Amino acid sequence: MPDAPGAPSAPPGQPLPERPARVEVTMTVNGRAYTRVVEPRLLLVDFLRNELGLTGTHVGCDTTNCGACTVHLDGRSVKSCTLFAVQADGRAVRTVEGLSDLTPPAHLTPPAPLPYQGRGEPARAATGAPPSLAGREPGGMGPAFSPPSLVGRGAGGVGLHPLQQAFHEAHALQCGYCTPGMLMSALYLLERQPRPSRDEIKRAIAGNLCRCTGYEFIIEAIELAAARLAGEAP
């Protein structure tokens, strides 16, 4: 009877290879140190999701094409589906759950909850939203919903980062599966180029695929967040 797919194999008369030894890894994730004993083959994305319960980092293609697994490793944007957890040993990881723990500029205050508009009602004349975002309330849905995977879990992580808030207001997500990776790529851009051009934004998110939005609202959301972080928009 043939071996099951993926089962260890060895030449006739020789013992099966031993399973890889488990190793201890310690990394700082969103400002908190974690130590786990894992197999060397464990991917960083699986470490974050299964060992730490940080499921905001999504698994999409497993080939680095979709960008849903994007995180920051020592401040650099990386695809966590093609890194092993052991490669992050002794290093600092930031995931989407850590965004709300980042201190925003002093001029930004937490935005008031947006009122429910309902289907077909005029959009946000009283909310201070930019005119370009008017009229985009999803039909019959109130805007108070925030995807759980985008809410920070660190020290007092209760609010939204300006990028998250901008994605929410500009309707830069539909199914939301790509959103954590988009946010992390956008954050990497804004930390290095606070007022990017539209072409720079497009290049920054070129490694993140979205099958819902057509990208235009995502670009507008990043522009809105950049303007707010620079103190140029309410």
**CATH number of the structural domain spanning residue 94:** 3.10.20.30
Structural domain includes residue 131: no
CA 113 → CA 95, 128, 141, distances in Å? 25, 12, 14
Which range marks the domain in which residue 58 is found? 23-101
Looking at the structure, tell me whether residues 93 and 156 fall in a common domain: no
Distance CA 85, CA 78 (A): 13
Residue 218 within any structural domain of the chain: yes
Q: What is the CATH number of the domain that holds 203?
A: 1.10.150.120
Decide if 221 is inside a domain.
yes
Q: Which of 41, 73, 101 is the last residue of a domain?
A: 101
| 160: in domain | yes
How do residues 96-136 score in pLDDT, each as one tens digit?
999 987 765 555 554 444 443 433 333 333 333 443 444 44
Instruction: Decide: helix, strand or coil at residue 50.
Output: helix
Output the average pLDDT for the chain: 80
Residue 133 lies inside a defined structural domain of this protein: no
Instruction: Judge whether 125 lies within some domain.
Output: no
Q: Of 42, 66, 101, at which residue does a domain stop?
A: 101
CA 188 and chain centroid, separation: 11
- Give residue 15's pLDDT: 77
In sequence order, what are the residues at sequence separation of 6 or more whose Cβ sits closer than 8 angstroms to the Cβ of residue 80? 43, 44, 45, 48, 57, 69, 70, 71, 73
Q: How far is CA 163 from CA 2, 80, 112, 159, 227, in A?
A: 53, 21, 15, 11, 10
Do 90 and 28 reside in the same domain of the chain?
A: yes
DSSP 8-state assignment for residue 147: -
Structural domain count, the chain? 2
Per-residue pLDDT of the chain (234 residues; tens, 9 = 90+): 455 555 556 677 777 777 768 999 999 999 999 999 999 999 999 999 999 999 999 999 988 899 999 999 999 999 999 999 999 999 999 999 999 877 655 555 544 444 434 333 333 333 334 434 444 444 333 333 333 333 333 334 458 999 999 999 999 999 999 999 999 999 999 999 999 999 999 999 999 999 999 999 999 999 999 999 999 887
- Pair 56, 96: CB distance under 8 Å: yes
**If you count DSSP H runs as helices and E runs as strands, how many of each does the chain have, helices first?**
5, 5
Residue 154 DSSP label: S
Instruction: Tell me which of 101, 126, 161 is where a domain ends.
Output: 101
The reply to whether the predicted model has a pTM over 0.85 is no
Residue 79: CB atoms within 10 A of its CB come to 24
Q: Report if residue 128 sits inside a domain.
A: no
